[in-house]
Structure 1
Amino acid sequence: MGDAVEDRLAARLASLRGERGWSLEFLADRSGVSRSTLSRLERGEVSPTTALLGRVCGAYGMTQSRLLAEVESEPAAALIRAADQPVWRDEAAGFTRRAVSPPHAGLRAEMIEGVLGPGADVAYDRPTVEGLEQHVWILDGTLELTGGDTTYGLATGDCLRFRLWSATRFRNLTASPVRYAIVQVPP
């Protein structure tokens, strides 16, 4: 994300808390993220990791895609060219996320492209939105995806459909990147 997007993200995180009338302590309890980290996020002093952003979004009952769309893009359009699709990187985790579908407040489905670098491991300790329907389609490479107590080995062309009710983990156990598409539909 660019500096302007990071600034808008920080401001949006602060406004979400303010809109709900939540204290930092309440949000910390709800998200499992420390008050000091939340405060630094809202002031734009730190960039959130994928996992951290997932926990905060979960506290607000919204997907990461929806939050990032609010700060990354212009008003809704029917078409978004590849060059204009917002890309967000979590360098520390080895994860890149592209918002493929144009954001629209009145539509629920979202399409995301994810790329996990070799050895990357991204874990979410809880769903951002309980019951979120996800379709994970492997475009290139292999991915180990764990949902709850079940682990799936997915290869190019495989598609897994499930609902998020518990922790998930995306792992690339290979020496090559894995590229996948996620279609998600809130309940």
Structure 2
Amino acid sequence: MQPDKSVGENLRQLRKEKGWSLDVAAKATGVSKAMLGQIERGESSPTVAKLWQIASGFNTSFSRFIAPPGREILESMFRDAAELRQESLNQGFFVSLLFPFEQTLGFEIFEISLAPHYQHQSEPHNLGVTEHILCISGEMAVLFADQWHPLKPGQAVRFNAHQPHGYKNLGTEQAVFHNVIHYPSNP
């Protein structure tokens, strides 16, 4: 798997904006200085879980690392999930960043596809972060409050994401869902 250089460039830019050394960033995120350096240099690609850990430590949105910086002015946008889909962060976990985080809105929207029987577990996000899951196709389940909650197409759930949570495909065909992640303020 080829490392994604934009993740490293975005990490370096955010670290410089905050005025943090690699040591400070390592303490804030719980990710080693060596690993952060490798990501910044494009020598290593973090998993989704590791990238979330870094985003939480920086108190920023997940999309801040995988999208160009947001614009000041809210504009109309047309997006195609098929053109945006990436699997570079986890095998079997296809992420399409439909709308990156914009400060004026306070949320980001992803379309996520799970390979058959694939399961992904996430560490808790920062306090106040909520996720809104809408199942588009396939059968899936969402883990929160220490139990799996099944969803069929057209069904949705919202939960506080500052707890361990996850997503799994319950079927033999790809499961697709939209994930709206809302941040309380200043991610």
TM bucket normalised to smaller: 0.7 to 0.9
SS in 2 for 1:70: coil
Q: Which moved more, 1:63-72 or 1:50-59?
A: 63-72
Identical pairs, percent: 26
Q: TM-score, normalised by structure 2?
A: 0.82
Task: Identify the residue that residue 172 of structure 1 maps to in structure 2.
Answer: 169
What aligned pairs does 1:153-164 form with structure 2 within 5 A after superposition?
153-164=150-161
Off by >6 Å, runs of 4+ in structure 1: none
Distance 1:103 1:92 in 2: 21
Change (3 A) 1:131 1:14: same
1:122 and 2:129 matched: no
Task: Identify the residue that residue 50 of structure 1 maps to in structure 2.
Answer: 48
Larger helix fraction of residues: 1
Task: Identify the residue that residue 151 of structure 1 maps to in structure 2.
Answer: 148
Q: Which moved more, 1:104-113 or 1:80-89?
A: 80-89
Change (3 A) 1:105 1:85: farther
Whether the aligned pair in 2 keeps the contact of 1:85 and 1:99 (CA below 8 Å) is: no
Among candidates 132, 141, 149, match of residue 135 of structure 1 = 132
Task: Identify the residue that residue 68 of structure 1 maps to in structure 2.
Answer: 66
The Cα shift of 1:132 comes to 1.5
SS in 1 for 2:34: helix
Provide the aligned C-alpha RMSD in A: 2.8
Distance 2:124 2:103 in 1: 24
SS in 2 for 1:88: coil
Kindly tell me the number of residue pairs found equivalent between the two proteins.
Answer: 183
1:107 and 2:105 matched: yes
Unaligned runs of 5+ in 2: none
Q: TM-score, normalised by structure 1?
A: 0.82
The Cα shift of 1:22 comes to 2.5
